[in-house]
Amino acid sequence: MHQPDGLSATHEMYLKVLFRLQKENDIGRVRDLAKGLGVTAGTVSAVLKKLEKSGLVAHDHYGAVKLTTTGLLIAECIVRRFETMKAFLTEVLGLDEETAEVDACEMEHTVSPVTVNRLERLVQMVRTGALDLKAVRRDLPVIHTEVCSECEASGVCQAVSAWDIKQGTDARNN
C-alpha cells in the first residue's frame, strides 16, 4: 500500500470517487458513491464512518459527503497516481484504454512516489517528443515464450489458470 498511515485500497477508492463527484457537483452523496463503487449504500455508510473518524471526510446525516482538506490532498495524490499509471500504460506501452484503466486502478494503490514521479517525467518526454518511442520500440527485441503469448492473448495468467486453487494441485498433472 502506498500510504504509510494504513489507508487501504478500498479507502483510497472511496476518496478517489468522492474527489471526482466533488469536481462535478461540489459534494458527493452516499447513493452516488454507492453507484460509482458498485456497492450498497449501507456499505458506503460504514466505510464513510471510518473515513470520517480518520478526518478525511465530513458526512452529514442527509447523505452529503465532502472531503476535508486532508482528504482532498490525499485524493489528489491518488488521482495523480492513477492518471500517471494510465498515461504510462496507454501512451508509452500502447495498451488500449480499457486494459489501461483496469491495470492503473490496481497499480495506483501500490506504486511508490518515486516511481510515479519518474513515470510522469517519462510520459511527459513522450508527449513533448523528447523521447521517440518509435525508435525505442523498433530497437526492442520481441521476446515471447509460448506461455507468455497465451497469457497475453487470453488476458489471464495461464500458470494460475492451470492451477486448481480448490485442490491446491497442478491441474495439468491430474
Enumerate residues 6+ apart whose C-beta is below 8 A from 9.
1, 109
Is 107 buried (19+), middle (13-18) or exposed (0-12) by CB count in 10 A? buried
Q: Per-residue pLDDT tens for 129-140?
A: 888 877 766 666
- Which residues are bridge partners to 58 per DSSP? 66
Fold for domain 9-74? Arc Repressor Mutant, subunit A (1.10.10)
Tell me how far apart the terminal alpha carbons of the chain are, to the nearest angstrom: 37
Distances from the Cα of 84 to the Cα of 35, 46, 88, 123, angstroms:
25, 30, 6, 8
Question: What's the pLDDT at 137?
Answer: 66
Enumerate residues 6+ apart whose C-beta is below 8 A from 107.
81, 85
Question: What's the pLDDT at 57?
Answer: 96
Domain assignments of the chain as residue spans, ordered by start: 9-74, 81-141, 142-174
Q: Per-residue pLDDT tens for 149-163?
A: 666 677 666 666 665
Weakest-pLDDT range from 10-24, 102-116, 157-171: 157-171
Domain boundaries 81-141, CATH class:
mainly alpha
Intrachain domains 9-74 and 81-141 with the same fold: no
How does residue 148 score in pLDDT terms, banded at 50, 70 and 90? low
Q: Per-residue pLDDT tens for 9-60?
A: 999 999 999 999 999 998 899 999 999 999 998 899 999 999 999 999 999 8
How does residue 164 score in pLDDT terms, banded at 50, 70 and 90? very low
- Residue 123 scores a pLDDT above 90: yes
Q: Helix, strand, or coil here: 33? A: helix
Is 22 buried (19+), middle (13-18) or exposed (0-12) by CB count in 10 A? middle
For the question of whether the overall pTM of this predicted structure is more than 0.85, the answer is: no
Question: What's the pLDDT at 60?
Answer: 86
C-alpha cell at 69: 482538506
Q: Helix, strand, or coil here: 68? A: coil
**DSSP annotation of 39:** S
- Residue 147 scores a pLDDT above 60: no
How does residue 142 score in pLDDT terms, banded at 50, 70 and 90? low
Q: Helix, strand, or coil here: 66? A: strand
